[in-house]
Amino acid sequence: MRMTQTADSGIDELRTTIEGVVVGPQDAAYDDARRVWNAAIDRRPALVAQCVNVADVQAAVLFGVRNGLEISIRGGAHSMSGAAVVDDGLMIDVRAMNQITVDPEAKRALVGGGALLSELDAATAEYGLAAPAGMISHTGVAGLTLGGGMGYLTRKFGLSLDNVLSVQIVTADGRVLRAAADENPELYWAVRGGGGNFGVVTEFEFQLHEVAPIVQYGLLWWDLDQGADVLRFARDLVPTLPRDVTIIIGALNAPPAPFVPAEHHLKPGYALVVVGFDAEKFEQIVGQVRTALPPTVEFTTPMPFTEVQKSIDEPNAWGHFCYDKGTYIEDLTDEAIEVITDHVARKVSPLSNTLFYRLDGAYSEIGDDDTAFGGGRSPRYAVFVVAISPDAEGLPTERDWVRAFWDELQPHTLGNGSYINAMAEFDADRVKASYGVQKYARLQEIKTAYDPDNVFHRNMNIKPL
């Protein structure tokens, strides 16, 4: 109650301090301002500071610290855990800071901390360029990048954070710093994988890469009873792929799309999502799949890369009730496949899914300690077990399904750690395990230097010494 009263008494002060809008519980815009992607999260901040520039962020951070308010940071608000919003505290919303400037000659982009992937994709595609990013276009660039950033371009160009050349960041004491290889290098190392622990990133500088505006897209889908065959086939095929072809392995329901026969709409099964940046290599790979294991449903087409990036937006839309857990596995062993096929058949919601991202190529050319990324760089799969329910009543069953699946898969994984962006709950032991002892200790030292009071702790928190 004391915090809420402090915020109430200071709301007018903050309104006169920042250019942006400050929203409180009495305002008509409040419910919309506090809403986040995951409908399972329902928190009520004391106030929301909708910042429009760096000075606003500085003022908001200092206001929160001075008044003893717990602080959360909202960009795309896509965190499964709902890290963007806090009860009775201060939500610093940078969504309006979404400006993007592309330098096509240098193949670089300056990207505001509030930008969404769809905005980054659209701005860079104008020049036949792209930055490696995730696969749901309404995700925020900042949250994704600070933890990793995996998608169709990872094997070709690395993680999102591998392509960050510099950041502008507001620290807990209100300073605005540039972090790059040549300036505040320890902070630069830490923000590339350490999440939002070190401040509010208000701008990223990305290295861009040439990506043709039109790429090849394929969705190959099989019935549930063919799961083991699909996974064993993928085990042999996927590690041999050229970098110009990426395959995401999924256990998911057939979409109710025009290219899917009506009798298969929403049926559970297994899929290979194939994206090709070279048409000839794409056709070769799809032909190989078609010959070895003819799919129940096959759809291939040229598609704008910006549309490929939006292809799973709808089943991951705002307003669903969600939960997930992630892990890493080295390979799809027979034992792992047995666990996977057993648990995939147990889910109830047609929206829930399991995805396997192959991480190798450019991903594995970065040293384990070159960035703070919470995952080893040896070739592997990132596994995402995702519960999505259209209503609150269905979530407990799906959440139990995720937890049981994850638990049984653990003996076949690369340890207790996981991709930190795939954490619906911030378990301290799992956070430490994800980074490893030495990397976590180094992050703690940097956290102590820049945020000794742990102001920024609504995240996969690295505790200061």
pLDDT digits (tens, 9 = 90+) for 28-73: 999 999 999 999 999 999 999 999 999 999 999 999 999 999 999 9
| 234 and 274 co-located in one domain | yes
Retrieve residue 316's tokens. Answer: 């991951």
Whether residues 353 and 224 share a domain: the answer is yes
Instruction: Extract the runs of DSSP E, i.e. beta strands, from 258-330.
Output: 268-276, 297-304, 321-329
Q: Is residue 1 very low, low, confident or very high in pLDDT (cuts 50, 70, 90)? A: very low
Distance CA 164, CA 205 (A): 6
Mean pLDDT across the chain: 96
| Count of helix runs (H) and strand runs (E) in the chain | 14, 18
9 has a pLDDT exceeding 80: no
| Structural domain range at position 408 | 214-422
Residue 2, pLDDT > 50, answer no
Q: For residue 10, what pLDDT is reported? A: 73
Beta bridge partners of 71: 90
CA 275 to CA 220: how far, in whole Å?
11
Per-residue pLDDT for 290 more than 70? Answer: yes
CATH assignment at residue 69: 3.30.43.10
Is pLDDT at 20 greater than 70 in this prediction? yes
Mean pLDDT for the stretch of residues 105-114? 98
Task: Give the whole-angstrom CA distance, residue 400 versus residue 351.
Answer: 15
pTM greater than 0.85: yes
462 lies in a domain?
Answer: no
| Partners of residue 210 on adjacent β-strands | 129
Last-in-domain residue among 50, 68, 93: 93
Q: Do residues 285 and 363 share a domain? A: yes
> Three-state SS for 359?
strand
Rounded Cα distance between 262 and 322, Å, is 27
Residue 266 lies in a domain: yes
186 and 229 share one domain: no
Please state, in angstroms and rounded to a whole number, the distance separating the CA atoms of residues 229 and 222. 10
Is the model's pLDDT at 141 over the cut of 50?
yes
- Residues of the chain with pLDDT > 70, as a percent, come to 98
Q: Partners of 303 in the beta sheet?
A: 215
As a whole number of angstroms, the distance between CA 90 and CA 72 comes to 6
Is pLDDT above 50 for 108?
yes
Q: Is 366 found in the same domain as 259? A: yes
CA distance 434 to 291: 39
Residues 166 and 59 in one domain: no
Q: Are residues 12 and 115 in the same domain?
A: no
Same domain for 206 and 322: no
How many domains does the chain divide into? 3
From 65, 93, 121, give the residue that closes a domain. 93
What digits encode the pLDDT tens for the residues 385-421?
999 999 999 999 999 999 999 999 999 999 877 899 9
- How deeply is 9 buried, as exposed, middle or buried, from its count of CB atoms within 10 A (0-12, 13-18, 19+)? exposed
